[in-house]
Chain A
Amino acid sequence: GAGVSQSPRYKVAKRGQDVALRCDPISGHVSLFWYQQALGQGPEFLTYFQNEAQLDKSGLPSDRFFAERPEGSVSTLKIQRTQQEDSAVYLCASSPLWGGGEQYFGPGTRLTVT
């Protein structure tokens, strides 16, 4: 079946612009995660949803970052007033379980802020 999809795959934004990154999880998956991967580093946790409830947003680096999953399926990560340090690959993952278990990753969105 279809895996996790993310769009756009590449995004170039000028400093100060707002961006919205979309994640389509595997159908029926309860849990959805966002991670940020800087160049040459491992992914770092941003936030986590179970259905439409955002259970953990402890990894969001600032209040410029906002995530939502209003109907418990598609999720959007929004970054306001982008800064150069926001340049990274943003990964979305979904899991069929309420807790624990394998996370299935999407291909990521590469954001470059100029």
Chain B
Amino acid sequence: GNSVTQMEGPVTLSEEAFLTINCTYTATGYPSLFWYVQYPGEGLQLLLKATKADDKGSNKGFEATYRKETTSFHLEKGSVQVSDSAVYFCALMGYGNKLVFGAGTILRVKS
């Protein structure tokens, strides 16, 4: 079945550091890929998405590129801020509209 694997956390960075959170997937067909973010005390929010190979999703300085050849959708940001501290979830949507999530990666940014 479909599955998502993302790097374990927590990831601890200093402000303005470069961020990468790795995500790989297993799926039949051509899924859509998503990054969701959960800030402390808040619900899940869509951060960015890509619906086909080589698409790049971007939002709030975050980017991720749909790489079919490596089945990956790594999240990157050039310069993180303390306010980016949150839990980040990689997810895919295949046939049937349901989201399949990774386990989540905690990001902590220190000032």
Contact = CB atoms under 8 A, between A and B. Distances in A.
Contacts of B102: 42
B19 interface: no
Contacts of B43: 3-4, 91, 105-108
A45 interface: yes
B103 A40 contact: yes
B101 interface: yes
Listed residue (A42, A44, A93) with the most chain B CB atoms within 10 angstroms of its CB: A42
Nearest to A91: B44
A37 to B, nearest CB: 8
B32 A100 contact: yes
Given A42-B89, A91-B44, A103 B103 contact: no
B23 to A, nearest CB: 11
Contact of A45 (B32, B49, B98, B104): B98
B104 A42 contact: yes
B7 interface: no
B101 A43 contact: yes
B17 to A, nearest CB: 25
Contacts of A93: 44, 99
B14 interface: no
Contact of B104 (A31, A41, A91): A41
Given A43-B44, A91-B44, A108-B43, A103 B99 contact: yes
B28 interface: no
Given A42-B103, A42-B104, A100-B93, A105 B45 contact: yes
Interface of B: 4, 32, 36, 42-46, 49, 89, 91, 93, 96-104
16 contacts: A41-B103, A42-B89, A42-B101, A42-B102, A42-B103, A43-B89, A48-B96, A48-B97, A56-B96, A91-B44, A100-B32, A100-B93, A103-B99, A105-B36, A105-B43, A105-B45
